[in-house]
């Protein structure tokens, strides 16, 4: 629940927590991951690695309406289960407010996953070539 709450908060306060294109992309894509990819840790990691590299992205317009719920609604929870439910509802409210940027978020998630796959392929190719070259020396 923590990543979902964190990213919902950051996207509701994008003027402070989404100043750069990378930070905006990080929170938008992580919010997307938390809701549409069940918080898949592999996708969270791919997003982080992608944004830690050199990426050319443009920050979209910061929206004025950012959801009907806020952290105050979450704080009103009376128990752990209600807290989890309210965090989810809050995040969904924020995500819904950003519906005009869903395509962009999906494009960025795909870019992060593609970059991850390319790095894995390069690493695998290197290992295969390296192993192949070692065998040549042993013949």
pLDDT of residue 60: 96
Q: 118: pLDDT confidence band, cut at 50, 70 and 90?
A: low
Q: Is the overall model pTM greater than 0.75, yes or no?
A: yes
- Nearest C-alpha neighbor of 57 from the set 44, 47, 45: 47
The length of the chain is 139
Instruction: Give me the helices (H) in the chain, please.
Output: 2-12, 14-17, 21-36, 41-52, 71-75, 80-97, 102-137
Q: 116: pLDDT confidence band, cut at 50, 70 and 90?
A: low
Tell me if 40 sits within 8 A of 109, measured CB to CB.
no
């Amino acid at each position: 629940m923590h990543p979902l709450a964190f990213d919902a908060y950051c996207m509701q306060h994008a003027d402070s927590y989404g100043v750069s294109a990378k930070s905006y992309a990080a929170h938008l894509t992580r919010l997307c991951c938390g809701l549409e990819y069940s918080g898949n840790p592999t996708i969270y990691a791919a997003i982080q690695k992608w944004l830690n590299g050199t990426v050319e992205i443009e920050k979209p317009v910061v929206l004025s309406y950012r959801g009907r719920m806020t952290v105050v609604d979450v704080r009103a929870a009376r128990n752990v289960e209600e807290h989890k439910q309210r965090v989810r509802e809050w995040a969904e409210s924020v995500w819904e407010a950003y519906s005009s940027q869903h395509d962009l978020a999906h494009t960025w998630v795909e870019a992060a996953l593609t970059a991850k796959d390319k790095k894995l392929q390069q690493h695998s190719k290197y290992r295969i070539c390296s192993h192949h070259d070692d065998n040549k020396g042993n013949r």
